[in-house]
Amino acid sequence: MKRFDPRSFRFRLWAVLVLFAALVCGLMWLVQITALRTTYERDRISAVRQAGNIISSTYGREGFNDALFTVTRSGGFFVQLLREDGVLLRSVGNDGAEAPPPQENLVDWQIFSTLDGTDGYYFYRVPDTVYDSEWIVQAQVVACRDGLREVLFTSASLSPVSAAISMLSSRFLLVTAVVLVTATVLAFVLASSLSRPITRITGRARQLAAGDYEVDFPKGSCTELDHLSAALDTAAAEFRSTEALRRDLIANVSHDMRTPLTMIKAYAEMIEQLSGDDPVKREAHLQIIIRESDKLTRFITETMDLSRLQSGAVELTMEVFPLAECVDSALESFRHLWEREGYRLFLSLDRGALVRGDRRQLERAVFNLINNAFHYTGADQVVYIGVSRLAGEVLFEVIDTGQGIEQSQLRAIWDRYYRINNKHAASTGVGLSIVKAIFELHHARYSVDSRAGGGSCFWFTLPQP
């Protein structure tokens, strides 16, 4: 994987920000120059047409001179009125007074023949010989007397917009230079301020990847980087928890596997060296080997089952059934405890309390909880099991009279391979982790109520179907 280069990142970020500023300036230049010229020309053409229409509408009437004066002065237009035979009838400048044309070619003498193929209007452009610009001219037939047409020429120069654009261009060059210099400096400062915390976060991330799970990530740069740092802090905490679980797993698994393996090996050697010829001793030693092998097999099987449950590889077969039936099925395995060993069992089972779930998995969870209670109940050998309906839910609870669990350890007992250092307290190993996984697959509520010296009550609830 390519290593993070803070200098390269800072330069790329700076280049992107400067390029963005240049792009914005270019767009502003395009809008200011191109759009301004186009808009102004369109407005002047519309104004020329409107002025020609106003003058032509009063031609031959009393208000013609007033309209001619007002229009030429207010809009800066030059107006000429010519007869088809070349006679100049009127020539009015932009001050409203009679004046010669600003340049001779404003009137195209071919216009009269051109107007033959029109509806009496024709628009054209003439280069401005004084300024580097153009004149826009509208020719419009306003009358026909004695067989000769009289044509109104309304003209306007575009030189003001050319001058304005030229001035804007020079000013905008200065503005562009200032903006680019400012953007370059600001981009450098911004790139440095953004790259600095990213560089620190990257360095801490490398420490995390190298196995330093105590590392913390800096905050206070910006909201997004703070969120990233918080996420990485969470990841570091999870890694710390996973590492602790890994160490516990290795310690517990090695202990739970080493003990039966050691005994199997020891008694196999005893059979080989001592009791091979003694049938009674050999049988006793073989039974121990078989028992420890069964214990090891059960431990491995439960570990694999737990992994399948936690990974979601187990598909639940959902059905509706009385939860009390799970209790009946589990108790068949413990019948000898109260029939031959004197355990006292108190039952309170609502046999009409129905739940919806996977019968086999829930039987397994109930079995594990009951087995836990029988194994760790007190000297009075009392176990209470109840199934009842409560507020739309079905409640299962199993209570023992053992020495209970310290409050500080209640949450941890459901963890995989967690074991309390008290031979009289509830040992969780894999069993309670399997119970937890089954309950979470069923979205059940579950917990344990216990205190040191006061017994334990394990319970769970499922909604009534």
Place of tokens 């740069």: 221
Q: Which two tokens stand for residue 227?
A: 């969120």
Q: What percentage of residues in the chain have a pLDDT greater than 90?
A: 14
144 pLDDT exceeds 70? yes
pLDDT, average across residues 137-154: 88
pLDDT, average across residues 338-353: 88
Place of tokens 């207010």: 74
pLDDT of residue 71: 85
For domain 318-463, give the fold.
Heat Shock Protein 90 (3.30.565)
Identify the bridge partners of residue 73 per DSSP, sorted by sequence position. Answer: none
Q: Which helix (H) or strand (E) holds 350?
A: none
463 pLDDT exceeds 90? yes
The DSSP bridge pattern shows strands 382-390 and 344-349 to be parallel
CATH code at 9-164: 3.30.450.20
What are the contacts of 260-263 at 24+ separation with CB within 8 A?
260/292, 260/293, 260/295, 260/296, 260/299, 261/292, 261/296, 263/288, 263/289, 263/292
pLDDT of residue 428: 39
pLDDT of residue 424: 36
356 or 412, higher pLDDT: 356
Asked if 334 and 370 touch (Cβ cutoff 8 Å), the reply is yes
pLDDT of residue 165: 67
pLDDT, average across residues 23-32: 73
Q: In whole angstroms, give the CA distance from residue 455 to residue 386.
A: 16
pLDDT, average across residues 10-26: 75
Identify the bridge partners of residue 140 per DSSP, sorted by sequence position. Answer: 121, 152
1 pLDDT exceeds 50? no
pLDDT of residue 427: 42
Give pLDDT tens digits for 263-297.
777 777 777 777 767 777 777 777 877 877 776 77
| End-to-end CA, the chain | 54
pLDDT of residue 318: 92
CB-side neighbour CA atoms (13 Å) of 127: 2
Identify the bridge partners of residue 450 per DSSP, sorted by sequence position. Answer: 456
CA angle, residues 149, 155, 156, in degrees to nearest 5: 170
pLDDT of residue 421: 45
Q: Which of 105-119, 206-220, 391-405, 423-437 has the lowest mean pLDDT?
A: 423-437
What are the counts of helices (DSSP H) followed by strands (DSSP E) for the chain?
A: 11, 12
The DSSP bridge pattern shows strands 393-400 and 382-390 to be antiparallel
387 pLDDT exceeds 80? yes
pLDDT, average across residues 420-443: 67
Q: Would you place residue 307 in the very low, low, confident or very high pLDDT band (cuts 50, 70, 90)?
A: low
pLDDT, average across residues 360-389: 91
Q: In whole angstroms, give the CA distance from residue 332 to residue 291.
A: 21
Please return the burial class of 362, using the count of CB atoms within 10 Å of its CB with bins 0-12, 13-18 and 19+.
Answer: buried
pLDDT of residue 389: 94
Contacts of 415 (CB under 8 A, 6+ apart): 245, 428, 433
pTM for the full model? Answer: 0.45
pLDDT of residue 118: 82
256 or 243, higher pLDDT: 243
Asked if 370 and 431 touch (Cβ cutoff 8 Å), the reply is no
- State the CB neighbour count (10 A cutoff) for residue 307: 12
pLDDT of residue 235: 78
What are the structural domain ranges in the chain? 9-164, 223-311, 318-463
Please give the mean pLDDT across all residues of the chain.
Answer: 79
Q: In whole angstroms, give the CA distance from residue 221 to residue 201.
A: 11
Q: In whole angstroms, give the CA distance from residue 168 to residue 335.
A: 101
> Would you say how long the chain is, in residues?
465
pLDDT of residue 422: 41
pLDDT of residue 107: 84
Q: Would you place residue 418 in the very low, low, confident or very high pLDDT band (cuts 50, 70, 90)?
A: low
Please return the burial class of 58, using the count of CB atoms within 10 Å of its CB with bins 0-12, 13-18 and 19+.
Answer: middle
Interhelix angle for 223-270 vs 279-311, to 10°? Answer: 170
241 pLDDT exceeds 50? yes
pLDDT of residue 290: 81
Asked if 393 and 412 touch (Cβ cutoff 8 Å), the reply is no
Q: Which helix (H) or strand (E) holds 110?
A: none
403 pLDDT exceeds 90? no
pLDDT of residue 302: 65
Identify the bridge partners of residue 397 per DSSP, sorted by sequence position. Answer: 386, 459
What is the 8-class DSSP label of residue 98? B
CA of residue 223 relative to chain centroid, distance: 14
255-259, 317-321, 331-335, 339-343: range with highest mean pLDDT: 317-321
Q: In whole angstroms, give the CA distance from residue 65 to residue 236.
A: 90
Give pLDDT tens digits for 42-61.
888 888 888 888 888 888 88
171 or 395, higher pLDDT: 395
pLDDT, average across residues 318-343: 87
Q: Which helix (H) or strand (E) holds 81?
A: strand 78-83
377 pLDDT exceeds 50? yes
Q: In whole angstroms, give the CA distance from residue 73 to residue 97.
A: 9
Identify which of 134, 107, 104, 132 has the alpha carbon closest to the alpha carbon of residue 122: 107
110 pLDDT exceeds 70? yes
Identify which of 415, 414, 385 has the alpha carbon closest to the alpha carbon of residue 400: 385
pLDDT of residue 337: 78
What are the contacts of 325-334 at 24+ separation with CB within 8 A?
325/359, 326/359, 326/362, 326/363, 326/366, 327/366, 327/370, 327/385, 327/387, 327/396, 329/363, 329/367, 330/363, 330/366, 330/367, 330/370, 330/371, 331/370, 331/385, 333/367, 333/371, 334/370, 334/371, 334/374
Is the domain 223-311 a CATH 1.10.12.10 member? Answer: no
Q: What percentage of residues in the chain have a pLDDT greater than 70?
A: 80
